[in-house]
């Protein structure tokens, strides 16, 4: 619900009413800095720090026996984390495993589900998705001896920022062998109607998968109920598992028992893995889509982080996220009116992910000024400022203060001091 009260007193009131406010004390926050880039890299929590130290202690204490001993034996670590994560995506037993990276998992699942047969040779994606997904799809098409220019369909955006579900469904022709879409568009923050799109694909007998990188931990999902075939995601954004942390994947249970396209050591059924047979017996769940040995130290911070998500509950986190992004948009419209900003994300709750997209022709210079004013934003070329208030560690006062700093930057034209050129990493 929009608010007309733009006072700091009101922000303080919202913080007093916030049932999740205490979680902010769980994170390492730099004094004087307002962190709005949690949709690129989440902050370190004390629980994640402790779960990483616990993994190191297990290595120190048990040596190789850490694979089967200790509080969290490594041999079962990926599946245990998957079970803890399953409620965040609405998955059933065995449908989630923590493994690989987003793109390696995408290669694994596309290689498994993309079957170019007869006239069904094409993969359907969109023109606004994250580039890595397109690179992977192009690679998989080439591996089939086909030309991505012909066999990769990218649905066009009507406005350059968002996608229309009607356009996506219309492109699900009898030539399409696979559909891959983002749950939330990484620039504009648009949340797609996963349930509707999955139903449309199922009616046409087309496997459909989703990249949840910009929704998991910020948006609740019901992947099993909606009949999604597969999904991939990273865990270092809203889930705060650390830079380069191990990713996750989901496979609907109706596909259990399928031989993974890219089989490896940890694709095996654990009961027979050490039989050392040259005939793979795949795990009878999502664990079959693992390839190599779990990266224990890169997965360990997730154990601590997921304990907070279990306590807070994804529904309460989503409710706060929506309230914070609405509050931020209200402040932008009232405090920054006439300063050239356009809100680029959908305004409706059911179409908005976890961040606010501000469009401005001076976005790159404004982001530089924000950082020098103690605000960490995120720039996306050519003109997008992404601001992500995170339910676990952002307060309403943080949002209010950030907008006031942005207002001063614009009023005083501080951004003019900076070169209009992004850094190597943006």
Q: Could you read off the pLDDT of 100-110 as tens digits, one per residue?
A: 999 999 999 99
Q: For residue 425, is it within any domain?
A: no
Domain-ending residue, one of 256, 276, 311: 311
Pairing type for strands 176-182 and 248-251 reads unpaired
Residue 355 lies in a domain: yes
| Spatial CB neighbours of 274, under 8 Å, sequence gap ≥ 6 | none
Q: Last residue of some domain: 311, 339, 359? A: 311
Residues with Cβ within 8 Å of 17's Cβ and at least 6 positions away in sequence, in order, are: none
Average pLDDT of span 377-382: 95
Q: Which of 193, 209, 200 is nearest to 171 (CA)?
A: 200
Convert the pLDDT of each residue in 304-318 to its tens digit. Answer: 999 999 999 999 999
Q: Establish if 1 belongs to a structural domain.
A: no
If asked whether residues 24 and 68 sit together in one domain, one would say no
> Average pLDDT in the 332-355 region?
98
* Per-residue pLDDT at 83 exceeds 90: yes
Is 286 within a domain?
yes
Give how far Cα 173 sits from Cα of 64, 151, 167, 296, Å: 52, 12, 12, 42
172 and 266: one domain? yes
Task: Check whether 104 is labelled as a binding-site residue.
Answer: no
Local confidence band at 5 (pLDDT 50, 70, 90 cut-offs): confident
Average pLDDT over the chain, rounded to whole? 97
- On whether both 162 and 260 belong to a single domain, the answer is yes
- pLDDT, residue 2, reads 63
**78 and 27 housed in the same domain:** no
Is residue 133 annotated as involved in ligand binding?
yes
214 is in an annotated binding site: yes
Distance CA 216, CA 194 (A): 13
Say if residues 44 and 240 touch (Cβ distance below 8 Å): yes
Q: How far apart are CA 381 and CA 232, in angstroms?
A: 25
The reply to whether 211 and 238 lie within a common domain is yes
What one-character DSSP code corresponds to residue 419? -
103 is in an annotated binding site: yes
- Angle, to 10 degrees, between the axis of helix 8-17 and the axis of helix 314-335? 180
Model confidence pLDDT, tens digit, residues 345-373: 999 999 999 999 999 999 999 999 999 99
Do both 83 and 206 map to the same domain?
yes
Residues 115 and 210 in one domain: yes
Alpha carbons within 13 A on the beta-carbon side of 356: 26
Q: Between residues 423 and 343, which one has the greater pLDDT?
A: 343
> Cα dist. 90→41, 103, 221 in Å?
23, 22, 5
231, 99: one domain:
yes
- Can you read off the two tokens belonging to residue 310? 């279990």
Determine the average pLDDT of the residues in 192-221: 98
Q: Does 394 lie in the same domain as 369?
A: yes
Q: Would residue 2 count as lying in a domain?
A: no
- Say what the pLDDT of residue 13 is: 97
My answer on whether 178 and 225 are in the same domain is yes
What's the CATH number where 377 sits?
3.90.1150.10
411 known member of a binding site: no
Cα 381 to Cα 37, 184, 419, 424: the distances in Å are 15, 18, 15, 12
Q: What is the pLDDT of residue 70?
A: 96
The residue behind tokens 């990276």 is 101
Domain tally, the chain:
2
Domain interval for residue 399: 8-44+315-417
> What pLDDT shows up at residue 1?
58
**Range 184-208 average pLDDT:** 98
Buried b (16+ CB within 10 A) or exposed e, 209-232: bbbbbbbbbbbbbebbebbbbbbb
- φ, ψ of residue 19 in degrees (nearest 5): -75, -10
Q: Is 107 annotated as a binding residue?
A: no
Q: 375-376 and 356-359: which strand pairing?
A: unpaired
Within a domain: 199: yes
Rounded to 5 degrees, φ, ψ at 285 are -165, -170
Tell me how many degrees the CA angle 149-153-157 measures, rounded to the nearest 5: 120
379 is in an annotated binding site: no
């Amino acid at each position: 619900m929009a608010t007309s009260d733009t006072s700091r007193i009101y922000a303080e009131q919202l913080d007093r009413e916030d049932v999740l406010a205490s979680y902010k004390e769980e994170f390492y926050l730099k004094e004087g800095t307002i962190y709005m880039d949690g949709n690129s890299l989440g902050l370190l929590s004390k629980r994640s720090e402790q779960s990483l130290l616990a993994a190191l202690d297990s290595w120190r204490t048990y040596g190789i026996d850490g694979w089967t001993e200790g509080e969290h034996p490594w041999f079962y670590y990926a599946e245990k984390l998957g079970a803890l994560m399953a409620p965040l995506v609405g998955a059933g037993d065995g449908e989630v495993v923590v493994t690989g990276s987003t793109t390696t998992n995408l290669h694994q699942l596309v290689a498994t589900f993309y079957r170019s047969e007869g006239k069904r040779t094409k993969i359907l994606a969109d023109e606004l998705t994250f580039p890595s997904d397109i690179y992977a799809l192009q690679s998989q098409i080439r591996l089939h001896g086909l030309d991505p220019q012909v066999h990769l369909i990218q649905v066009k955006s009507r406005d350059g920022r968002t996608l229309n579900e009607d356009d996506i469904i219309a492109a699900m022709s009898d030539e399409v062998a696979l559909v891959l879409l983002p749950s939330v568009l990484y620039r504009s923050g648009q949340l797609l109607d996963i349930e509707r799109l999955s139903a449309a694909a199922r009616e046409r007998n087309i496997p459909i998968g989703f990249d949840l990188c910009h929704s998991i931990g910020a948006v609740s999902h019901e992947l099993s109920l909606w009949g999604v075939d597969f999904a991939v995601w990273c865990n270092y954004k809203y889930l705060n598992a650390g830079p380069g942390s191990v990713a996750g994947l989901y496979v609907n249970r109706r596909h259990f028992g399928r031989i993974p396209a890219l089989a490896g050591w940890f694709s095996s059924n654990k009961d027979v893995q050490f039989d050392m047979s040259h005939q793979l017996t795949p795990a009878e769940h999502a664990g079959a889509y693992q390839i190599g040995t779990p990266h224990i130290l890169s997965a360990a911070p997730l154990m601590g982080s997921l304990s907070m998500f279990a306590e807070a509950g994804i529904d309460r986190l989503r409710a706060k996220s929506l309230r914070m992004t609405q509050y931020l948009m209200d402040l932008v419209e009232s405090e920054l009116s006439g300063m050239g900003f356009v809100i680029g994300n959908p305004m409706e709750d059911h179409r908005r992910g976890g961040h606010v997209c501000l469009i401005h022709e001076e976005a790159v210079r404004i982001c530089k000024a924000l950082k020098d004013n103690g605000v960490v934003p995120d720039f996306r070329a050519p003109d997008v400022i992404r601001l992500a208030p995170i339910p676990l560690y952002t307060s309403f006062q943080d949002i209010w203060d950030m907008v006031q700093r942005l207002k001063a930057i614009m009023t005083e034209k501080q951004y003019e001091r900076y070169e209009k050129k992004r850094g190597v990493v943006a």
